[in-house]
Amino acid sequence: MKLQQDLAIKVKEAVKSVYDADLPSVEFQPTRKDFEGDITMVVFPMLRLVKGNPVEIGTKIGTYLQETVDEISKFNVVKGFLNLVVADGFYLNFFNAIIEDKNFGYQAPNSKDAVMVEYSSPNTNKPLHLGHIRNNLLGYSVAEILKAAGHKVYKTQIINDRGIHICKSMLAWQKFGNGETPESSGLKGDHLVGKYYVEYDKAFKAQIAQLLAEGKTKAEAEKDAPILLEAQAMLRQWEAGDEAVVALWKKMNGWVYQGFDTTYKNLGVDFDKLYYESDTYLLGRDVVADGLDKGVFFKKEDGSVWIDLTEEGLDEKIVLRSDGTAVYMTQDIGTAIQRVTDFSDINGMVYTVGNEQDYHFKVLFLILKKLGYSWAEKLYHLSYGMVDLPSGKMKSREGTVVDADDLIKNMEDTAAEISQELGKLDGYSKAEKQELYRTIGLGALKYYILKVDPKKRILFNPEESVDFQGNTGPFIQYTYARIQSILRKAEITVSRPVETSLVLHEKEKELLKQIQLFPEKVLEAADSYSPALIANYTYDLVKEFNSFYQQVSILGETDTAKRHFRVLLSKKVGEVIGDSFILLGINVPERM
């Protein structure tokens, strides 16, 4: 806030003038609700430079500020805290400046470094599930927040479309599928392929049981199960370019991609560029060879290539097997470099990946730095916690995951049930009701997940998320709809400036102060890669508006100037709610 910057200069002037001391910095904080004031200056940090009673010091500085700063109308001192009251005119001038500012809170587009944000990155042997939903919502929201903060952003994912797990689904379909297709089964393509991943696991376990009965050890049985040996053989055929295997792989992956696209569309996320592991798994080997020549890596007696990160508090990490094949780390090194080649303006990347990969990304970033890439200094692992359910942990192989499509549908149904109980949809057509249920259901899901700090684990409760009271998406959506109702009744056609001589009600002032925080919250959320800051800011804004709505008359106000201001204030609150929810990927309804 510019006022705080100006006040800091004036406080330093006061300390120099009164105490002949040079103050390096000034600490401000919002004034506590139980004291009069808007901004509080903390006196205690000054005591190492300015000797004296904190109350006396605060009083002298407060007097200086009141005499020299027009915006400060009065002050009070409580112990070591100087509470400053900001004049109403300051807030009204601020409000006039943002009435028609559609870019309020946003930095100039593309004014900062280009950043690539990776999220989703699923396997093509199963549909998206609840864990993917948190990943997608976080990645998409962080991308939107970075855009709002002025960055040029590229959204991407790497699709894990090769490997033994993919072959397991392919083999099971070949053995048990009888030519079943998405069209013949009525299943989405990703659901159909996921069905055969589960079928593979059933057959694998049955064969293990048989081998155990024949006297083999558990390790032997798991290693010698015929269906596993067939899957491994299929993988070798794929790597050798066997036409029949590659054709089956393309067909089944095609089914999955169509299914993913439907889920992404329903979830409201998108991508600018897709990378496929089948294209990238060979990348990085040449980089490793070059790094070996430069001494970044070293070779062991068996021919495998490693990097020693013990000085950085980690350990030795393999980057190339003894047979010359790449590991995941090799691939990720090559993919990162390829991305910067594809998008030459990139100067940073954000990887949205669960916290079980924390160590992997520490190593990856260190390797890229040691290889001399300057952009490696601006790599960030958006690490997030697991999503738990009241029923327990999800397991893809056993078919016990919470499917993303089912969850989205369940959220819509829950929203429909609660909305019908509230009985506020008179006059809505069937199509309008369905769209509203979708908006509320998805808003509930997204907000519930995004309001939590990414690093924290979540226990997801669908019914709790659709509550119309408390810190939920529907509660905020309902407030937005209420504001739109006020605006329709007010019939404002021109947003002319408000009178700066108005005396503000306490609730008006608190609401203006909350609006004023929006730009810095956007920057703070971008710096910390945390949509939770935007979500919880929006909830605080909505709480403040509802308190204002309950205590101050808007449309019933007889003073024309006050009524005009309160309607415009409501309008701006609605705009900030809408903008905040856009950053979270959430829609807001005009009526509710």
Largest CA distance in the chain: 94
Going from the C-alpha of 461 to that of each of 120, 414, 471, the distances in angstroms are 22, 12, 13
Fold of 404-583: Isoleucyl-tRNA Synthetase; Domain 1 (1.10.730)
Burial class of residue 588, CB neighbours in 10 A (0-12, 13-18, 19+): buried
Query: Facing residues of 349 across strands?
Result: 116, 379
User: Pseudo-torsion of CA 100, 105, 107, 113, nearest 10°?
Assistant: -160
User: What's residue 1's pLDDT?
Assistant: 61
Query: What pLDDT, on a 0 to 100 scale, did the predictor assign at position 399?
Result: 46
What is the model's pLDDT at position 397? 45
DSSP code for 371: T
Are 348 and 337 contacting, i.e. CB atoms less than 8 angstroms apart?
A: no
Alpha-carbon gap, residue 48 to 42, rounded angstroms: 13
Q: What is the pLDDT of residue 565?
A: 96
Distance CA 484, CA 516 (A): 21
Q: What is the pLDDT of residue 467?
A: 87
- Give the CATH class of 2-86: alpha beta
CATH 1.10.730.10 range(s) for the chain read 404-583
Helix intervals (H) in 451-530? 462-465, 473-490, 506-516, 518-528
Q: What is the pLDDT of residue 398?
A: 46
DSSP classification of residue 46:
G
Q: Are 275 and 157 in contact (CB under 8 A)?
A: yes
Q: How many other CB atoms are there within 10 angstroms of residue 274's CB atom?
A: 13
CA angle 299, 303, 308 (to 5 degrees): 30
CB of 171 within 8 A of CB of 227? yes
Q: What is the pLDDT along the chain (592 residues), one digit of tens a residue?
A: 678 888 999 999 999 999 999 999 999 999 998 999 999 999 999 999 999 999 999 999 999 999 999 999 999 999 999 999 999 999 999 999 999 898 999 999 999 999 999 999 999 999 999 999 999 999 999 999 999 999 999 999 999 999 999 999 999 999 999 999 999 999 999 999 999 999 999 999 999 999 999 999 999 999 999 999 999 999 999 999 999 999 999 999 999 999 999 999 999 999 999 999 999 998 999 999 999 999 999 999 999 999 999 999 999 999 999 998 889 999 999 999 999 999 999 999 999 999 999 999 999 999 999 999 999 999 999 999 998 877 654 444 444 568 899 999 999 999 998 888 877 777 889 999 999 999 999 999 999 999 999 999 998 888 889 888 899 999 999 999 999 999 999 987 777 899 999 999 999 999 999 999 999 999 999 999 999 999 999 999 999 999 999 999 999 999 999 999 999 999 999 999 999 999 999 999 999 8
Chain centre to alpha carbon of residue 585: 9
The amino acid occupying position 263 is T
Cβ atoms of 305 and 292 within 8 Å: the answer is yes
Domain(s) labelled CATH 3.30.1360.70 in the chain stretch across: 2-86
Collapsed DSSP state (helix, strand, coil) of residue 30: strand
